[in-house]
Amino acid sequence: MAARPLLRLFPALLAAAILGLLAAGCSSRPTYPKAQMAESLQQILQSDSLNTRVRFIDHTLAVQLEYPDALTQREGQIGIGPSFDDAARRVLTAVHRVLLSSDAEVRFYVLLISDPNVPGAYLTLVRYLDDIKRANANMIDTFEMFARTIIELDFVGPSHLTLEQYVPRDIRLEEFLSWQLARRIQYTLSDELQAEGVASVGRCGGKFQDGEFAFTLNVEPLGEAGLDEATIHKVFQTSTGVIAKVLSSYRFDEFDRIRLIHPLTGRNLVLPRTNLEIFR
C-alpha cells in the first residue's frame, strides 16, 4: 500500500481527532465509567445510525464498522470510497469523546471498517491514545500524528472477519512500534531511493520478539545490475536513523537490540540498544 494515496485520509482523521478532543470536556468525574464504557460507545454509535460492534480488551478498544461506499475495488485493487471521510469522522469523533471522558485505562484503539458492497475488504486503523493527547497539547505536529497512525487496506477473502478474530488480545506498545516503524522505514526509503531511481522499495516487515526489534527491508535494484555497496549502506543507515528517532520520541528502551534484514543480499545488521544513541 503506497504512502501517497493514504494522505487523502488525513483531513478526515485530523478533524475527527480535534472534534473528539473538544467534546471531552474538563469534568473531573468520568462521564463514561470503565464498567459501561464499551456499552456507552456502542449506544452513541447506534444512535448515529452506524452499524458497529465494540469490544474492550484490557487496554485496547476495538470498533468494527460496516459502512456503504466507505471502500472501493477497481481492477483488483482496494481503495478509499466516496463515503470514507464521513464514516471516519463520525466514528472517531465518538471514540475520542468517550475515551477522553472515561476512567478506563485505554492505551490503543483499533477501527476496522468494511463495506457491504466490497465483501472481504477491510481498512484497519490503529492509534496510541497518548499520541492523540500529545497532538492536542501541540507536542507533535499534524504530519507526525499521521505518521504515528497505522493504516492498512487488506482483502481477506469471502469469510466475514469478526473483532474477536482480528483483535484477539490486548495490543502491546512494542508491537505497535514495530508496525509503525516498518511503515515509516518503507516510506522513508521510498522517498530517498525510489524517487531518485536508485532502487525499488517494497513492503517492509517488522516484529518484536525476545527483546529484539527485527525489520525486513525489501529493497531491490531497478535495473539488471545489483545494489552497490553505497546503496546498501544507505539502506541500513537510513533505517537505523528512523528507528532511533522514533523510539527516542516514545522514550521506549525496553528492548535489547535491533536487527535489520535485507533478504536480497542475505545481510543482517544487529545493533545493541546502546548503539542507537549515535543515530539520533
Walking along the chain (280 residues) 10 residues at a time, the average pLDDT comes out as 44 51 57 95 97 97 97 88 94 94 95 94 95 90 93 85 91 97 96 85 96 97 85 95 96 96 95 84
Q: How many whole angstroms separate alpha carbon 48 and alpha carbon 76?
A: 32
Residues 6 or more apart from 240 whose CB is under 8 A from it? 258, 260, 269, 271, 276, 279
What kind and span of H or E run contains 199? strand 199-201
Closest CA to 147 of 256, 250, 22: 250
3 state SS of 27: coil
Residue 224 is predicted with a pLDDT of 76
Closest CA to 163 of 66, 67, 55: 55
3 state SS of 103: coil
Residue 136 is predicted with a pLDDT of 85
Residue 280 is predicted with a pLDDT of 67
